[in-house]
Amino acid sequence: MKKVLLRYKYAIVSVIALIIIIFIKPELGHGTILNLKNYGIEMLSVLPPIFVLLGLLDVWVERTTIMKYMGENSGLLGSLLIFIMATAAAGPLYAAFPIAIVLLKKGVKLFNVFLFLGIWSTAKVPSLLFEMTNLGIKYMAIRFVGNIMGVIIIALLLSKTTSVDDRNKIIGNVNNL
């Protein structure tokens, strides 16, 4: 029981805080509950297809193939494949994390996983098309290039400063999921 409580301590604290808010400011509490309901429905509509695709990826694509094209020795080709995969994605950022876990389990190098998460969050094609039509191609191009440079720099810094022990801990945690 204690292990369960420790595992879900943040969720428990959040529920207690929500109950307190409902008693202190009922309108804020009810608005929060409505937001939780809406986000819950959104998550339930996005995550099941993602998990189905992840299951198919896990079964259909061999670990050796993924490692060859996106692993430690993949070079620029692996990063380019990750870039294409992340820009073609649709959906909120929380849908990218299960994909990142599968990529790590399949042997994708840490830099490519960091790159994947950064590109997913900043440079998806649907977002770029929206920006181009509503804010102009110049704005979209400047933001896109700036974000890509920033994501690459951050992914490089993260992958270079992550110690071997931390890498092994990350991989170990992923493999325990």
Q: What is the pLDDT of residues 6-47, one digit of tens each?
A: 888 898 999 999 999 999 999 998 999 999 999 888 888 877
What six digits make up the tokens of 93? 């950022």
Burial of 103 (0-12, 13-18, 19+ CB in 10 A): buried
- Return the pLDDT at 151: 96
Amino acid at 168: N
**Contact status, residue 131 vs residue 139, Cβ threshold 8 Å:** yes
pLDDT digits (tens, 9 = 90+) for 44-78: 887 787 778 777 777 777 778 778 888 888 889 98
Q: Where are the alpha helices (DSSP H) in 61-109?
A: 63-70, 75-87, 96-105
- Return the pLDDT at 21: 92
Residue 161 predicted with pLDDT over 90:
yes
Length of the chain: 177
Cα–Cα distance measured from residue 155 to residue 113, given in angstroms and rounded to the nearest whole number: 8
- Return the pLDDT at 93: 86
